[in-house]
Amino acid sequence: MTVADGYTCAFCNELFPSKNGLFRHLRNSGCTASAAADGLEIKRPTERVALVLGVATSSHSWWQPFWRALDVARGAPDHGPSYAALAEQGVAPGAFSSERDAKDMLKACDVLSLTTEVVAPEDCSAWCARANDALPEDIRIFGRYGPLPADFHAERCCMRRYFTCLLPTKLLVVDNPNEVGQGALATSLTEEPPPVEEQRKMKCKFSPPTARRKHAKKQHQAGWGEGNTGEERLGQFFRLKEILREFQGEHLFHNFSQEALKPTDTLARRFVYRCRAVPGDAVGLTVAVDSLAPGQLRAMAGLAIALQRQLLPDSYLEAAFSEEQLLKVPLVPEGTEYQAQCVFRKDFHHLLQPLFEGEEAQNFRKKVEEKIAQEFLDKVFQTWFEEQLVPLTQKLSVEFNNKKPADTSAEVPDVKQEVPKAYAEVLRLLREAERSGTWPACSKGREKVIKASEGEHGSFTVGSMPPSMEAPNGNRLFPELAMRCFELERILKPGRCSSTIAINKRAQFLPHIDSGAGAGQGISLIVGLGDYSGGELCVENDSHDIRYKPLEFNGWTQRHWTKPFQGDRFSLVWFTPAGCENCPGLEMFQKILQAGSSRLSSSLRLANGLELPRLGMGTWQLDDKDGSSTCETAVTAALKAGCQLFDTASIYKNEAAVGRALEGKNEGVFVTSKCSPYEMGFDKAQEACRKSLERLGRNKLDLYLIHWPGVPKKPHTSPLHRRARHETWKAMEELYRQHLVRAIGVSNFTASHLQQLIEDGIEVLPMVNQIELHPLYQPAETIEFCRKHGIIIEAYSPLGGGSASNRARASDGEIDGTRLLLTHPTVQAIAKETGKTSAQVLLRWALQQDFMVIPRSSKPDRIHENFDLFDFQLSQEQMHTISAARLQLMKAFTKLVTGFITRWAKLRDRSSAGTPKACPRRGALW
């Protein structure tokens, strides 16, 4: 109701000077319920607030009375939805800073962020008091602060957390050297420390207490006692500080978790900002971290006690951080740790700090410590030490000291032995596959769990994969090896019929469990082959010698890894991915090999999913002159031979001829063009692409490449080349985004060019790298880089470059790669064996290595011959023989080049003839 001098509440008759004051009263007073019952709709404004609280109960359901108490403080359900009801339904009304790491710990300090009804600043204390009256004594709210920004989140905005584990002082600082379980420490208290050299032999990382006596006398602290006893106690405490200092920094804590973690798990790698011990009636082991792995603090405390009492060797700590193995680490009893403090972003922390440091919060912390001390510090810890820690560390110490890691720097011992007959053929094929140079690169996922080493290692898969995944490259590269491996499985375990095999060479696996496509498989089978020592397989903590001794284990649930080894170690792992249960590998490869395995897929899939024909036609040097277009005639002949991919470039000056020959043939025909060195740069490259499209008569290119990794007429060392590559690639990405090109790539780029391009910052990785490639020239570094990054290699001059190559021009036509290749006895012998021509054998050699191939010819009969490649296959032995013939061919090249240089030098002295020009298609002179 209203009066002349203000507004009066109809329920309590209190007078207010304005309507706003009256409604504020109705929203936030005892009259709220009456107003709601009277039918008045009141929407209470809300704000983002932080509640600072403490929890001194180990009950997992402490949140139930907590949310009910908040409902009491805010007057729910009359003033909004019940928090307790929401929590029962699994809907969290707010977020705790302890949600991730200390959900079930005691909490001397915790923060809750939630959006709740507005409370006037002067009423916050009363609001907290109402909540505390409804809470049990072991849960307290220290204060409420608001409003805060809407994005404040207690868990996400907490930058650092402090956790403390309370430990009995007598476990860490010993009064009686003869106490049970004292181990070597009893001796160290009464004897002088051994010499430095002796300490090194004993792997003593931390100084014994007696080594600290001199320091202790100078820096004696009160409370440690007088005389030698005080010095000894202080010396022990200094040793403890040295141990704890080693925990600081970034480490792998996979061995410190009560859950089964692997070194590759994100949760395993933690950063400890600070680790210290605070002396008192009990020693508080406090760490400052972003977050903890489950059980990490208890494990750190358990290992610190074991090291301090010298129940474990000092080197055990470093080994526990190693990614190469799993070690058991003792844990102190559960319930001894608590969350001590939270540190938030600067813009939030100074607002909450008064609540963190208030008297009520400090008293509650003491209450938490007293609770832990009463329950654990006396009998529980003593029993744990005598009945669990001492027996466990005795066992761990013996196991650890018996381990003899392989000395990889030493000479490889003579480990050759007679190969069991069942393994002989598989081992022969494995070594042949390694020599072939076509061993596939590791997948990115598998590379993460293999220890990096100086030697060459690798791992690939053969067999079946789930329908959503592509067939492994190993099926095509090594079908005979795959079949023999599946046959070996049936010999070793007649009841097994796996669908898939992982084939590994010199791969030392880190602790991991199998995942990805194979998830769901029950039992794996593994065996080691080759001349090596060491390399045992560890499954959880059991070590197994698998050299010609097959072992079954559950790779999907059991952590397993490889011990260090020396020599050439191969291993085979048979398994069945989920979805491949009805695809036995042996039967699959028997059918493939019976059918001759002569069919290659006609296309290759690029990184963006676009499929391009793996065999196409190059058009370099095919003229387009008035009245006579060699290029147009050749393209027409290639179409009749079944060619679907045509490669041209602006610098070839025949794009118009290609366009005329392909006029009206857009479906099923793919065209590649290139941005020349004269067109490099962000704006020029985009304009060049549009002009190429105009000349070709098309509205979109299937593939557009940077023709050359440099600009013309600049020194080789000029930084302009790198800058031009990057600017041009940004233009290529823009063309790709504008859908003017379906795929983008490069040409003539080496591995270093590609690496620089990635380092300079790109959004789209090149999908194709077109390079000169044939048995005479196999740039291994570039090939390996491209395969590792999923870049398809497109081989030009696959027959050796012909009489128009740079090499031929530089030698007046005497060095002809095509002539050397086509007439080489090895190539001719294989051509005779297969009933094909030498050219077809060389092209098939490139196709079987998963290269796109673009031979060039202007003669219709040879064009037809170049596309008749899919009715035969080269064996692994034939592939290897052709690849190895490179050494013989290079000798012939060297002889010709040496002779040419000698003759050219003599001619140069007699005349002023200039040097031959470099060809834009090939680049600099050979």
pLDDT digits (tens, 9 = 90+) for 502-525: 999 999 998 988 875 545 566 899
pLDDT score, position 199: 43
Distance CA 765, CA 767 (A): 6
pLDDT score, position 139: 95
pLDDT score, position 304: 95
**Catalytic site residue from 652, 704, 736, 777:** 652
Mean pLDDT of the chain: 83
For residue 406, the one-letter residue type is: A
Is residue 456 very low, low, confident or very high in pLDDT (cuts 50, 70, 90)?
confident
pLDDT score, position 194: 46
Q: Specify which residues 509 forms β-bridges with.
A: 450
Nearest to 28 by CA among 120, 122, 141: 120
User: For residue 598, is pLDDT > 50?
Assistant: no
What is the mean predicted confidence (pLDDT) over 599-627?
Answer: 85
User: Beta-carbon neighbour count of residue 781 at 10 Å?
Assistant: 10
Query: Is-catalytic flag, 338?
Result: no
For 350-354, the CB contacts below 8 A with 24+ separation are: 351/50, 351/145, 351/148, 352/50, 352/52, 352/111, 352/145, 354/143
For residue 355, the one-letter residue type is: L
Q: Specify which residues 495 forms β-bridges with.
A: none
User: For residue 601, is pLDDT > 60?
Assistant: yes
Those residues with Cβ within 8 angstroms of residue 179's Cβ, 6 or more apart along the chain or in another chain: 186
Q: In the chain, what percentage of residues exceed pLDDT 90?
A: 49
Is residue 914 very low, low, confident or very high in pLDDT (cuts 50, 70, 90)?
very low
The b-or-e profile of 830-865 (16+ CB within 10 A means b, else e) is bbeebebbbbbbbbbbbbbbbbbbbbbbeeeebbbb
User: For residue 805, is pLDDT > 70?
Assistant: no
Q: Which two tokens stand for residue 173?
A: 């600082």
pLDDT in tens, 636-661: 999 999 999 999 999 999 999 999 99
pLDDT score, position 871: 82
**Cα–Cα distances in Å, from 767 out to 232, 656, 704, 783, 787?**
68, 26, 10, 13, 11
More confident call, 53 vs 44: 53
Nearest to 640 by CA among 906, 458, 861: 861
Q: Which two tokens stand for residue 76?
A: 């729910």
Looking only at the bridges linking them, the beta strands covering 106-117 and 645-647 are: unpaired
**Cα–Cα distances in Å, from 573 out to 448, 523, 583, 585, 779?**
18, 10, 16, 13, 32
Q: Specify which residues 853 forms β-bridges with.
A: 615, 795
User: Which residue is it, tokens 């996922």?
Assistant: 445
Determine contact, residues 304/240, Cβ cutoff 8 Å. yes
For residue 96, the one-letter residue type is: F
Looking only at the bridges linking them, the beta strands covering 158-168 and 249-252 are: unpaired
Q: Is 765 exposed, middle or buried (0-12, 13-18, 19+ CB in 10 A)?
A: middle
User: Which residue is it, tokens 């897929």?
Assistant: 601
Helix extents (H) in 749-788 = 751-759, 780-788
Distance CA 88, CA 83 (A): 9
For residue 443, the one-letter residue type is: S
Is residue 426 very low, low, confident or very high in pLDDT (cuts 50, 70, 90)?
very high
E strand intervals along 759-819: 768-772, 792-796
pLDDT in tens, 363-381: 999 999 999 998 888 789 9
Those residues with Cβ within 8 angstroms of residue 200's Cβ, 6 or more apart along the chain or in another chain: none
Question: Whole-model pTM above 0.75?
Answer: no
Angle between helices 876-910 and 825-834 (to 10 degrees): 140
Q: Please work out, in degrees rounded to the nearest 5, the angle formed at the alpha carbon of residue 482 by the alpha carbons of 480 and 486.
A: 115
User: Beta-carbon neighbour count of residue 908 at 10 Å?
Assistant: 12
**Cα–Cα distances in Å, from 4 out to 1, 8, 15, 16, 17?**
10, 10, 11, 11, 10
Q: What is the side-by-side order of every strand in the sheet holding 551-553?
A: 458-463, 500-505, 570-575, 524-529, 551-553
Report the phi/psi class of residue 664: left, alpha or beta, with left for phi > 0 and alpha for psi in -120 to 50.
Answer: left
Nearest to 867 by CA among 845, 844, 846: 844
Q: Which two tokens stand for residue 893?
A: 């090249």
Distance CA 377, CA 336 (A): 9
What is the mean predicted confidence (pLDDT) over 861-867?
Answer: 93
pLDDT score, position 79: 54
User: For residue 163, is pLDDT > 90?
Assistant: yes
User: For residue 428, is pLDDT > 60?
Assistant: yes
Is residue 220 very low, low, confident or very high in pLDDT (cuts 50, 70, 90)?
very low
